[in-house]
Amino acid sequence: MLFHSNIFILYFFPLTLLLLFISSKIKFDNKIILILASLFFYSWWNINYLPLIILSIFINFFLGKKIQKSKNDKKLFLSISILFNISLLFSFKYADFFISNYNFLTNSGVNKLNLPFPLGISFYTFQIITYLVDCYYGKITLHKFKNFALFVVFFPQLIAGPIIKYNFLIDQLNIAKFFVLRAGNVLKGLVLFFIGFIKKVFFADQLSLIVESGYLNYESLNFLEAWMTSLAFTFQIYFDFSGYVDMALGCALMLNIILPINFNSPYKAYNMIHFWRKWHITLAEFLMNYIYYPLLRFLPSISFLLAMLATIIVFFLAGLWHGPSWMFITFGLIHGIGVIFNHCKQKFFNFKIYLPLSIFLTFNYVNLSFIIFRSENFEQAFTIIYKMFNFSSYSISMLSDLFSGLDLLKNITLLILSILVIFIFKNSDYLINSKYLK
């Protein structure tokens, strides 16, 4: 079930609000309603995934309690619980990838597992890990099963984030009045949802037509077509992902729950360090707090070189997190190299670059990295990049050959509008917190 689908907008969300209202009148626990609604929302995609997430909830709740109650074995139970979750994620998402690479390197014939890929498993696995670590450090006080279940399956952020902490959500759920329509929250929530809907339907989905045509015909692209294709995907992935998150935040806000923003005008970043403070913010925070800092604490001593090594490891994992592919891993490493370059520049060559030029260079670096991200293989990626810098293929007339079936004027207009929205307009967080919506 997609947020922008008719089934969600016309049926699921209004019925959920109605059930919450009725539950308040008959004094039925509205958390139970939200849990059941969230499980139904998740099952709509594929009911076969439901037993896995329910099993994960029960096992992790038990492990969390063991971590909390243990005195001498806290670290052991934490290790077991993290290993369980990573093993689950690895089995369903990465096992076949590693088997393929093992077969390639050893010329073996190990059969793939061909397990299905449960939706949202990357997000809720990371979220559960934050919960288990917080149990270890004694930060979890309201350790109740229904709280934990709702923390895992809360439908606005179940599929695509943002990644949140247990106390952040549960503290709000315990005081939220789901049956009370607060005018301010409803208005802001509707505005957020509408912005996300526009991003998804009128930008991302339309840009995807350019992207699909360009990548399908990548060998015949000329200079301008290659740039149109690459920019279209860079804009598409932003509008798609941030639009979905905006709709998630809007739904939660109408339930009187505030979720953290995940995108803060990332294409306006002036270097790669700045970019990762604005792009997929909650993932970046998770990687910093639960991988990067523990890596540094594990080292006997910390030096600039070792810190940069930890950085490249984190970005390797960030790339792998996006999917079981060397294309995603390379994407992550490219971003890691960009971050390391910026750290080296600040430490050894702290010169200033004209801000608009810095934004321009950063955006184009990101744009090139997204070609790797979107491509099916390196041959396709390098061909498109070559076409982008092959000035001899420049020809306005050739544009109509590739995009004639998609309406050339419409696509150029769409790209120009995308540039204006991304670089000139204020982002959704600014708009809903502006004086006009106070």
Picking from 262, 267, 321, the residue whose alpha carbon sits closest to that of residue 290 is 321
Contact 151, 132 (CB under 8 A): no
CA 205 – CA 108 distance, rounded (Å): 41
The domain tally of the chain equals 2
For residues 63 and 128, membership in a common domain is answered with yes
CA 198 – CA 205 distance, rounded (Å): 10
pTM of the model: 0.91
Contact 155, 39 (CB under 8 A): no
The confidence score (pLDDT) of residue 390 equals 84
Task: Specify if 201 maps to a domain.
Answer: yes
Domain C-terminal end among 151, 180, 209? 180
Task: Specify if 361 maps to a domain.
Answer: yes
State the catalytic residue, choosing from 143, 274, 322, 343.
322
* Average of per-residue pLDDT across 355-368: 96
Picking from 203, 210, 197, 350, the residue whose alpha carbon sits closest to that of residue 271 is 350
Q: What is the pLDDT confidence band of residue 430, given thresholds at 50, 70 and 90?
A: confident
* C-alpha to C-alpha distances, 429 to 189, 234, 299, nearest whole angstrom: 11, 21, 38
Question: 382-404 pLDDT, tens per residue?
Answer: 999 999 998 775 555 555 555 55
For residues 251 and 154, membership in a common domain is answered with no
Question: 309-326 pLDDT, tens per residue?
Answer: 999 999 999 999 999 999
Name the token pair of 223.
């200079």
For residues 147 and 201, membership in a common domain is answered with no
Task: Specify if 140 maps to a domain.
Answer: yes
Name the token pair of 10.
């016309």
The confidence score (pLDDT) of residue 173 equals 84
For residues 247 and 163, membership in a common domain is answered with no
Contact 398, 225 (CB under 8 A): yes
For residues 284 and 412, membership in a common domain is answered with yes
CA 102 – CA 208 distance, rounded (Å): 34
The confidence score (pLDDT) of residue 123 equals 92
CB neighbours of 302 closer than 8 A, spacing ≥ 6? 296
CA 116 – CA 49 distance, rounded (Å): 9
Q: CA dihedral defined by 102, 107, 110, 112, rounded to 10 degrees?
A: 60
Contact 405, 234 (CB under 8 A): no
For residues 138 and 206, membership in a common domain is answered with no
The confidence score (pLDDT) of residue 404 equals 55
The confidence score (pLDDT) of residue 225 equals 87
Task: Specify if 1 maps to a domain.
Answer: no
Q: Angle formed by the axes of helices 74-89 and 121-136, to 10°? A: 180
Q: What is the pLDDT confidence band of residue 119, given thresholds at 50, 70 and 90?
A: confident
For residues 367 and 416, membership in a common domain is answered with yes
Question: 2-50 pLDDT, tens per residue?
Answer: 898 999 999 999 999 999 888 888 878 889 999 999 999 999 988 988 9
**Residue 412 CB-density burial (10 A; 0-12 exposed, 13-18 middle, 19+ buried):** middle
CA 99 – CA 109 distance, rounded (Å): 9
The confidence score (pLDDT) of residue 178 equals 66
Mean pLDDT of the chain: 90
Q: Does the pLDDT at position 406 exceed 80?
A: no
CA 355 – CA 373 distance, rounded (Å): 27
Contact 367, 339 (CB under 8 A): no
Task: Specify if 69 maps to a domain.
Answer: yes
For residues 127 and 243, membership in a common domain is answered with no
Q: What is the pLDDT confidence band of residue 438, given thresholds at 50, 70 and 90?
A: low
State the number of CA atoms in the 13 A half-sphere of 91 facing the CB: 8
Contact 437, 196 (CB under 8 A): no
The confidence score (pLDDT) of residue 394 equals 59
The confidence score (pLDDT) of residue 28 equals 83
Question: 253-305 pLDDT, tens per residue?
Answer: 999 999 999 999 999 999 999 999 999 999 999 999 999 999 998 888 889 99
The confidence score (pLDDT) of residue 299 equals 84
Which residues form the domain of 280?
A: 185-437
Domain C-terminal end among 129, 163, 180? 180
Q: Which value, in Å, is the radius of gyration of the alpha carbons in the chain?
A: 23
- In the annotation, is 322 catalytic? yes
Question: 171-216 pLDDT, tens per residue?
Answer: 888 876 666 778 888 899 999 999 999 999 999 999 999 999 999 9
Domain C-terminal end among 180, 210, 232? 180
Question: 137-183 pLDDT, tens per residue?
Answer: 988 877 789 999 999 999 999 988 899 999 999 888 887 666 677 88
Q: What is the pLDDT confidence band of residue 242, given thresholds at 50, 70 and 90?
A: very high
Q: What is the pLDDT confidence band of residue 130, given thresholds at 50, 70 and 90?
A: very high
Task: Specify if 359 maps to a domain.
Answer: yes
The confidence score (pLDDT) of residue 427 equals 85
**Which residue, chain included where needed, has tokens 């925070």?**
285
For residues 28 and 115, membership in a common domain is answered with yes
